[in-house]
Chain A
Amino acid sequence: MNTKPMLQVRDLHFRYDPEQPTYAVNGVSMEVHRGEFVAVLGANGCGKSTLAKHLNAILLPETGTVLVEGMDTREEDHLYDIRQKVGMVFQNPDNQIVATIVEEDVAFALENLGVPTPEIRTRIDEAMKMAGIYDKKDKAPYKLSGGQKQRVAIAGVIAMRPDCLVLDEATAMLDPRGRAQVMQTIRTLRAAGISIVSITHYMEEAAQADRVLVMNQGKIVMEGTPEEVFSQTERLKSYHLDVPQAAELRDQLVAAGLPMPENVITPEACAEALFQLLQGSPA
Chain B
Amino acid sequence: MLRDITIGQHFPGNSILHRCDPRLKIVMTIAYIVVLFVASNPLGILLSLALLALLYSLAKIPYRLILKSLKPIVPIVIFTAVLNLFFMGGEGEPLFHWWLLSIYAEGIRYAILMSVRVIALIAGTSLLTYTTSPIVLTDAIESLLRPLEKVHFPVHELAMMMTIALRFIPTLIEETEKIMNAQKARGAKLDNGKFTERIHALIPILIPLFISAFRRADELAMAMECRCYHGGQGRTRLKVLRFTRQDGLCALAMAAMLAVIVATRFL
**Chain A residues engaging chain B, CB cutoff 8 angstroms:** 56, 58, 80, 83-84, 87-88, 90, 92, 94-101, 103-104, 107-117, 120-121, 124, 140-142, 153, 156-157, 160
Given contacts A95-B219, A100-B167, A140-B170, whether A120 and B234 have CB atoms under 8 Å apart is no
Binds A, one of B17-25, B43-51, B77-85, B235-243: B235-243
Interface membership of chain B positions 223-263, coded 1 if the CB is closer than 8 angstroms to chain A and 0 otherwise: 11111111000111111100000000000000000000000
B226 near A157 with CB under 8 A, answer yes
A contact residues around B239 at 8 Å (CB): 104
Contact, CB under 8 Å: A96 / B228: no
How many angstroms between the C-alpha atoms of A101 and B219 in the bound complex? 19
Residues of A contacting B134 in the complex (Cβ-Cβ under 8 angstroms)? 100
Is A160 a contact of B228 with CB atoms below 8 Å? yes
Q: Taking CB as reference atom, which chain B residue is nearest A156?
A: B227
A96 touches B220 (CB 8 A): yes
Return 7 A-B CB contacts under 8 Å, by A number: A58-B226, A96-B219, A100-B167, A108-B224, A117-B240, A120-B237, A141-B167
Measured CA separation A80–B228 after assembly (Å): 6
A109 to chain B: which residues have CB within 8 Å?
227-229
- Determine whether the beta carbon of B167 is less than 8 Å from that of A88: no
Chain B residues contacting A110 (CB-CB under 8 Å) are 236, 238
- Name the residue on B nearest A84 (C-beta): B228
When chains A and B are docked, how far (Å) is the Cα of A83 from the Cα of B174? 32
Q: A98-B220, A100-B134 are in contact. Are A142 and B174 (CB under 8 A)?
A: yes
The secondary-structure label for the interface of chain B is: helix
Select which of A88, A92, A100, A117 is within 8 A of B135 by beta carbon. Answer: A100
Complex-state Cα separation, A281 to B163, whole angstroms:
69
CB distance from B233 to the nearest CB of A (A): 9
> Cβ of B192 < 8 Å from any Cβ of A?
no
- B222 and A104 form a contact (CB under 8 A): no
Q: Are A116 and B220 in contact (CB under 8 A)?
A: no
> A103 contacts B238, CB within 8 Å?
yes
- From B163, B236, B238, A98 is in contact (CB under 8 Å) with B163
A58 with B222: CB separation less than 8 A: yes
The tally of residues in B whose CB lies under 8 Å from a CB in A reads 30
Report yes or no: A95 in contact with B223, Cβ–Cβ below 8 A. Answer: yes
| Residues of B near any A CB (own CB < 8 A) | 133-135, 163-164, 166-167, 170-171, 174, 215-216, 219-220, 222-230, 234-240
Query: How far, in angstroms, from A24 to B18 measured CA to CA in the complex?
Result: 53
A96-B219, A103-B238 are known contacts. Are A83 and B164 too (CB-CB below 8 A)? no
User: How distant is A137 from chain B, measured CB to nearest CB, in Å?
Assistant: 11
Q: How many angstroms from the CA of A113 to the CA of B223 in the assembled complex? A: 15
Residue of B167, B171, B239 with highest tally of chain A CB at under 10 A: B167
- Known contacts: A83-B225, A157-B226, A160-B228. The answer to whether A111 contacts B238 by CB under 8 A is yes
Given contacts A98-B163, A100-B163, A142-B167, 14 further A-B contacts (CB under 8 A): A58-B226, A92-B219, A94-B171, A95-B223, A98-B164, A99-B135, A99-B167, A100-B133, A104-B135, A112-B227, A112-B230, A120-B236, A142-B171, A157-B227
| Contact of A112 with B229 in the complex, beta carbons under 8 Å | yes
- Cα–Cα, bound, A131→B62 (Å): 38
**Complex: A110 Cα to B235 Cα, angstroms:** 8
* Cβ contact of A101, chosen from B133, B229, B234, B240, cutoff 8 A: B133
For A83, A104, A120, A160, which residue has the most chain B Cβ atoms within 10 angstroms? A104
Give the residues in chain A near B224, CB-CB below 8 Å.
98, 108
* A101 closest partner in B (C-beta): B135
In the complex, residue of chain B having the shortest beta-carbon distance to the beta carbon of A97: B167
